[in-house]
Amino acid sequence: MHKIYLDNAASTPLLPEVMEIMMEVLKENYGNPSSIHSHGRHSRTVIEEARKIIANILKVSISEIFFTSCATEANNIIIKKVIESRGVQTIITSGLEHPCVANTISDMTKRHDLKIIFVPNDSDGNLDYGFLENAVKENPKSLVSIMYVNNEIGNINDIGKIGEICKANGALFHSDAVQALGKIELDLSKIYVSYLSASAHKFHGPKGAGFFYMNSDCIIDPLILGGAQERNMRAGTENIAGIFATAKALELSVKNMSENQSQILIVRNYFKQRLKEELADIQFNGNQDIAINHILNVSFPPSPKADLLMFNLDINGISASSGSACSSGIPKDSKVMEGIGHDKERKAIRFSFSHNTTLEEIDYTIDILKKISPTQ
């Protein structure tokens, strides 16, 4: 049976070159990077080389990159410590953020006297930037937390514009860039952000490795205390192989970006075209004009068969992601789907591609969808 992976927004396969590099570091660099002997210094060099690669790609200073175990950790560190160490009184965010941002903000509002303002969005997930600007102007000492690319519907938010608004009004700006890195250009010498997070396994690096950028004018206190690793910002012996693999995976993704993205766009357009022509009552969620190439969120019409779509895709060897769940017979959309007012009777499925996805795989997926979808 075919095994088709259309869930690249959830995680991506490790690039073979990255795996090789990782194995070598695991084997060779066993010295503790905090040790001052040659084995330790050798490991330290690997970490600093990785930091330099990432800093060069983002066009920032090497002292502004901090390695973590994942983007969830990076977002927790940033949000919690920006609030606690920079006197933030207001958080301006959207209702479409990833749970690791949304739940951290919600938890912080229970522990601190914080005002929280949600930037409204329309049914395509477009944010109201005028509202955001007014909110920033009316609320000094605010932290704006808006993701670069939405992980469920793929909308690319205008972080350049948000950065300008924040900079002009003295607000701090955090952006979760997990679904953007390695897929679209990001030049932080041109775009203002105070903090930005990323995760290696979303750009063909390993799981358990991430990092954040912190603008040197926006220093926060550490969340995890212990040794002096990451210049006292994130204690704990470093995941050297993961860190080096992160840098190499990002380097390769950026180097091959235009070729990879062209391939992904061909796949996306072909899939969309065939879905529109061959399946009835299909809708695409999110603003298709600003959607990132690799995420396509498809909404299928209501029917008892719709609830079995994910299950039937899976038993036919196709892995995708559900934007909704059915608990006790009641269909329930994810927060993002709810946030864009998606009809919960319909079934939303996120298909996400990589440069490895082929048109033959799309043909097979369409054949299966024609058999299992509600209107056939």
Task: Output the smallest distance, CB 301 to ligand PLP, in A.
Answer: 27
Please choose, out of 70-78, 261-269, 303-311, 328-336, the segment that lies near ligand PLP by the rule CB under 6 A.
70-78
Task: Please enumerate in sequence order all residues whose Cβ is within 8 A of that of 68, keeping only pairs 6 or more positions apart, or say none.
Answer: 74, 77, 210, 211, 212, 234
For residue 284, how many other CB atoms are within 10 A of its CB? 17
The number of residues that bind ligand PLP (CB under 6 A) is: 12
Q: Is 249 in the site for ligand PLP (CB under 6 A)?
A: no
Q: Is 6 in the site for ligand PLP (CB under 6 A)?
A: no
Q: Could you tell me whether strands 115-119 and 90-94 are parallel, antiparallel, or unpaired per DSSP bridges?
A: parallel
Please choose, from the candidates 7, 89, 28, the residue with its C-alpha nearest in 3D space to the C-alpha of residue 244: 28
First-to-last CA distance in the chain? Answer: 23
Q: Could you tell me whether strands 90-94 and 142-145 are parallel, antiparallel, or unpaired per DSSP bridges?
A: parallel
Distance CA 308, CA 305 (A): 5
Which residue number, 296 or 368, has a Cβ lying nearer to ligand PLP?
A: 296
Element (H, E) at 352: strand 347-352
Q: Is 72 in the site for ligand PLP (CB under 6 A)?
A: yes
Selected from 176, 238, 333, 361, the binder of ligand PLP by CB under 6 A is 176
Please choose, out of 65-73, 129-137, 226-234, 284-292, the segment that lies near ligand PLP by the rule CB under 6 A.
65-73
Please choose, out of 24-32, 34-42, 173-181, 225-233, the segment that lies near ligand PLP by the rule CB under 6 A.
173-181
Site string for ligand PLP, 105-144 (x = CB under 6 A): ----------------------------------------
Task: Output the smallest distance, CB 22 to ligand PLP, in A.
Answer: 17
**What are the catalytic residues?**
326
Q: Is 71 in the site for ligand PLP (CB under 6 A)?
A: yes
Q: Is 210 in the site for ligand PLP (CB under 6 A)?
A: yes
Task: Please enumerate in sequence order all residues whose Cβ is within 8 A of that of 32, keeping only pairs 6 or more positions apart, or say none.
Answer: 39, 40, 43, 237
Q: Is 70 in the site for ligand PLP (CB under 6 A)?
A: yes
Phi and psi, residue 99, nearest 5°: -55, -30
Phi and psi, residue 59, nearest 5°: 60, 55
Which residue number, 32 or 103, has a Cβ lying nearer to ligand PLP?
A: 103
Which residue number, 97 or 133, has a Cβ lying nearer to ligand PLP?
A: 97
Which residue number, 98 or 248, has a Cβ lying nearer to ligand PLP?
A: 98
Instruction: Please answer whether residues 234 and 77 qualify as being in contact, where contact means their C-beta atoms are separated by less than 8 angstroms.
Output: yes
Distance CA 230, CA 222 (A): 10
Contact residues toward ligand PLP (CB under 6 A) are 70-72, 98, 100, 147, 151, 176, 178-179, 199, 210
